[in-house]
Amino acid sequence: MVKLISVSFTVLVLTISAVKAQIPIVIANYPPINTVPDVKSAQVQAWLKELDLSGAPAIAPLTAPAGSPPACAANNACTWTCDNCPADDVTTCAVPNTWGLTFDDGPSTATPKLLDFLKTQKLAATFFLIGSNVIQHPDTVKRELAEGHHLASHTWSHSALTTLTNEQIVAEMKWTEKAVMDATGLRLKYMRPPYGDINNRVRFVLKKMGYIAVDWTGDEFDTNDWRIGTNNFTQAAAVSTFTKSLDAYVAGPNKATSGFYCLEHDVSDKTVTAALELVPLGVKRSINFASVSGCQSDAQPYQLGGTAPIPPADPVVGAGGTKPVGAGSSGSGTGNSPSGSNGPTVIKNSGASHLTAAGVFSAVAVAAAGALFA
């Protein structure tokens, strides 16, 4: 296990092909923000025509107050949060001694501060993006990509998916997918259900669209950053609780066999400020960090991702650079096939899941752990 991070300066250059040209984001061209998109729209109807949902489990949508997951019912159909039933969701980072670094609910005005911090720490994370926020902050999404982070979906309106119809789930996912594709040219592949609210019907619909669900590794890895400032809950309390979780992980048997996914958010100054104190707790304990793509050894962490090598002439951005993703090279594919080369470049160094000392790349995600740790 220990030797997996002993490779020094193995530089990996991976490519993720953009599969579709970027489109300027015009908010009026998307559904109303923070609202479940209309399934009767021509766009959603077109998406539905491409999907065969006829085999979906006959599980009725549950009910819940707005902004909340539904209460647990007697038969939840393998609901992760109620039945501790993950089915085949990803729940642990596959790399031992590794913190699967994820941030949900962004992008927000607080996200750039987090990106600045992650850059100084040379860490890559997965951002589970809310589509409604993507169209409001597309440049932040592009920056995330350009600085080596991995993009994933957190639905359009952050509604509890078990409360939605199959068609509404499609609308939530596809509009978010479109927003990110318009901004970056990439089609998302991983998602995290809001509130961790997922059952077998939701899973069926997600899989039909090619999505892999990623939960977090149990309650002890919920940093509770979202509670800070409510009911007298403080950042100090969140740090104290999470410190115990990390110490238990470091002292326990799981460290040798798998990593963990945490629950953190880049939704507000409070949660980002908390991250700036929480992440160093892992660094101090010699825990490595990786995005979901790094944790899952997925060198193609987007749908329709190509594998063609980057042309040597494709420039890699130096430290501090903010080259627009895919600039001068956006793929011309149809959205149905990889478009060859010209995707962002990924460069990955050795140890942990840190980016190279150069710091900033026109990059996507992390390298395949197998190659990285060989």
Contacting residue, 4, 99, 105, 167, with Zn ion by CB under 5 A = 105
Beta-strand ranges (E) seen in the chain are 12-15, 98-100, 102-106, 126-129, 150-153, 187-188, 190-191, 212-213, 260-261, 288-290, 302-303, 345-348
Which of the residues 104, 105, 197, 314 is marked catalytic?
104
User: For Zn ion, which is the closer residue by CB, 22 or 199?
Assistant: 199
Shortest Cβ contact with Zn ion: which residue? 104
Contacting residue, 89, 104, 147, 182, with Zn ion by CB under 5 A = 104
CB of 267 to Zn ion, least distance (A): 8
> 194-233 mask for Zn ion (x: CB under 5 A)?
x---------------------------------------
> 317-336 mask for Zn ion (x: CB under 5 A)?
--------------------
User: For Zn ion, which is the closer residue by CB, 211 or 361?
Assistant: 211
CB of 195 to Zn ion, least distance (A): 7
CB of 105 to Zn ion, least distance (A): 4
Task: Give the distance between the most distant pair of CA atoms in the chain.
Answer: 59
Identify whether the C-beta of residue 363 lies closer than 8 Å to the C-beta of residue 345: yes
Among 184, 188, 210, 134, smallest CA distance to 343 is for: 184
Helix/strand number for the chain, H first, E second: 11, 12
Whole-number Å distance between alpha carbons of 124 and 102: 9
CB of 103 to Zn ion, least distance (A): 10
Q: Which residues contact 71 (CB under 8 A, 6 or more apart)?
A: 64
User: For Zn ion, which is the closer residue by CB, 105 or 314?
Assistant: 105
Amino acid at the residue 353? S
Is-catalytic flag, 182? Answer: no
Q: Which stretch binds Zn ion (CB under 5 A): 24-32, 51-59, 96-104, 317-325?
A: 96-104
- Reading the block at residue 106, the tokens are 């962004």
CB of 289 to Zn ion, least distance (A): 20
**For the residues of 1-28, what is the DSSP string, one character each?**
-GGGG---S--EEEE----S------GG
Q: Which stretch binds Zn ion (CB under 5 A): 19-27, 98-106, 199-207, 248-256?
A: 98-106
CB of 108 to Zn ion, least distance (A): 12
Give the DSSP H or E segment for 204: helix 200-208
Which phi-psi region, left, alpha or beta, contains residue 342 (left: φ > 0; alpha: ψ -120 to 50)?
A: left
User: For Zn ion, which is the closer residue by CB, 194 or 340?
Assistant: 194
User: For Zn ion, which is the closer residue by CB, 104 or 222?
Assistant: 104
Q: Which stretch binds Zn ion (CB under 5 A): 11-19, 79-87, 105-113, 200-208?
A: 105-113
Dihedral, 270, 259, 292, 204 alpha carbons, nearest 10: -100
Identify whether the C-beta of residue 183 lies closer than 8 Å to the C-beta of residue 216: no
CB of 28 to Zn ion, least distance (A): 25
Residue numbers 180-199 binding Zn ion by CB under 5 A: 194
Burial of 236 per CB tally in 10 Å (0-12, 13-18, 19+): exposed
Q: Which residues contact 279 (CB under 8 A, 6 or more apart)?
A: 101, 117, 121, 123, 289
User: For Zn ion, which is the closer residue by CB, 127 or 373?
Assistant: 127
User: For Zn ion, which is the closer residue by CB, 262 or 369?
Assistant: 262
Which of the residues 265, 298, 314, 354 is marked catalytic?
265
State the number of binding residues for Zn ion (CB under 5 A). 3
Is-catalytic flag, 149? Answer: no
Identify whether the C-beta of residue 185 lies closer than 8 Å to the C-beta of residue 338: no
Give the interface with Zn ion as residue ranges (CB under 5 A).
104-105, 194
Catalytic residues: 104, 265
